[in-house]
Amino acid sequence: MLNVAKAPRPQSLADRVRADFPILRQLVHGRPLVYLDNAATTQKPQSVIDAMRRYYEHDNANVHRGVHALSERATEAYEGGREKVRAFIRAHSTREVIFTRNATESINLVARAWGDANVRAGDEVLITAMEHHSNIVPWQQLCARAGATLRVGPIDDRGDLILDEFARLITPRTKMIAAAHLSNALGTINPVAEIVALARKAGAAVLIDGSQAAYHMPVDVTALGADFYVFTGHKLYGPTGIGVLWGREAVLNAMPPFLGGGDMIRSVTFAGSTWNDLPYKFEAGTPHIEGGIGLGAAIDYVSAIGFDAIGAHEAALLEYGTARLSEIPGLRLIGTARRKASVLSFVLDGIHPHDIGTVVDREGVAIRTGHHCAQPVMDRFGIPATARASLAMYNTTEDIDALVAALGRVRQLLG
Ligand SMILES: Cc1ncc(COP(=O)(O)O)c(C=O)c1O
């Protein structure tokens, strides 16, 4: 085990970036805020807040439709956000980058538009046992509509996907394989390249849910070669209400639209309508303009820091946090995968996670407790819930020390 006394103090990145996040400069219940709920949503740097504010103060207009200066500026800024997403995930073209409300909507879009056109009675959809509800329920609904079957690849006691059993569940009827890049409940990093290769071999489509990955590690959708990759802006230091569906252009072109209305059409008569080009075919109605702009600013921010620095910082924090939590008597970490990101899910003997969350909140420490929208993961480990501390670039070893001290308080009060 790590010798905590000699643990690296990986604070240089956090020291550099903390000042960029105004929300972190506050007291909660009279104590400095320690924000450890980043897997739920990350905090926003000043540059993201400023970009959205600037849009409303100077450029607010509807996009794509106007010839006036404000509309042109708004369109340029919004489409600029799309180009930043394209470059960030290394997509071939902005035609492959569809803005949605969030990852949940992105997956629903695929399950509806692609799924209804491609999945038939007797077909199968394969997911993993560590999925977020967003990557379970839309497939369940699709299977119910189509008369198809949902299959689930198992995970082991560490929270790793059992890849050979997963592979054995693939049959000639498997039409879609959908898997998380990184589990929000366990921190497991899935072998997505292998999953994509299995799908390719079987002739199945494949969707990767990158909601948790996109803010921890670089993503190259072109190299990965899946059919769909989804993520959500608010976890990537961007605003809520904006998500991304990346899809391979040929696959998106072959799909019918999802929602109907303005912007997604080329022409409309009462006899029928024709569809706009990508990506607009899948973007009905006035989009979340300031969301696209804010997400672009978030990508600028993250790119300027770089995933080498972010990854090294978070890996050191995870190591430190794992060692510190492991010293606590009666604490069990849930999720100890071989490849893991900075998520520390745990249970404490005899104390309900909800009570843990409430007591540590009084100490100024924000963690999440519950099933983390992954009830099947809780069932797999035979627990109702966990407490989860999840780390981001601005967290410090002092934040983890504060959590450990707050857990001491939990023991004092409830243990
Ligand atoms: C792995 C994973 N997938 C999907 C989602 C859904 O994200 P959103 O609620 O922004 O759609 C989350 C959010 O926690 C997640 O962690």
- In tens, the pLDDT along 128-149 reads 999 999 999 999 999 999 999 9
Test site for ligand 1: of 189, 212, 232, most ligand atoms within 8 A of the Cβ = 232
Give the SS3 label for residue 16: helix
**How many Å lie between the centroid of ligand 1 and the Cα of residue 66?**
34
- For ligand 1, atom 12: residue with the closest CA: 211
Element (H, E) at 78: helix 69-89
3-state secondary structure of 26: coil
- In the DSSP assignment, the letter for residue 280 is G
Per-residue tokens: 256: 């019918």
Question: Does the CA dihedral 130-136-139-143 come out positive or negative?
Answer: positive
Q: What's the pLDDT tens digit per position in 35-63?
A: 999 999 999 999 999 999 999 999 999 99
- State the distance from the centre of ligand 1 to the C-alpha of 212, rounded, in angstroms: 7
Note the pTM of the prediction, 2 decimals: 0.96
Return the beta strands (E) in 193-350 as ranges: 205-209, 228-232, 243-247, 265-269, 272-275, 331-333, 343-348
Q: How many A from CA of 71 to the centre of ligand 1?
A: 32
Q: CA 362 from chain center: how many Å?
A: 28
Pairing relationship of beta strands 149-153 and 174-180 according to DSSP bridges: unpaired
Q: Which of 373, 388, 390 has most ligand 1 atoms within 8 Å of its beta carbon, as the pocket-test mutant?
A: 373
Residue pair 227/251 in contact by the 8 Å Cβ criterion: yes
- The answer to whether residue 163 scores a pLDDT higher than 80 is yes
Instruction: Give whole-number Cα distances, 330 to 345, 349, 402, 407, in Å.
Output: 14, 5, 18, 11
To the nearest whole percent, how much of the chain has pLDDT over 90?
96
- Quote the ligand 1 centre to 388 CA distance (angstroms): 15
Separation of CA 242 and ligand 1 centre (Å):
12
pLDDT higher than 90, residue 66? no
Angle at 343 between CA 387 and CA 14, to 5 degrees: 115
* Annotated catalytic residue 373: yes
Task: Inform me whether the pLDDT recorded for 401 exceeds 90.
Answer: yes
What is the CB < 6 Å shell around ligand 1? Answer: 102-104, 132, 134-135, 180, 184, 209, 211-212, 232, 243, 373
Q: Is the pLDDT of residue 26 over 50?
A: yes
**What three-state secondary structure class fits 105?**
helix
Beta bridge partners of 267: 274
Marked catalytic residue, from 163, 373, 383, 404 = 373
pLDDT digits (tens, 9 = 90+) for 350-373: 999 999 999 999 999 999 999 999
Mutate to test the pocket of ligand 1, among 99, 101, 132, 236 (most ligand atoms within 8 A of CB): 132
- Residue 8 clears pLDDT 70, i.e. is over it: no
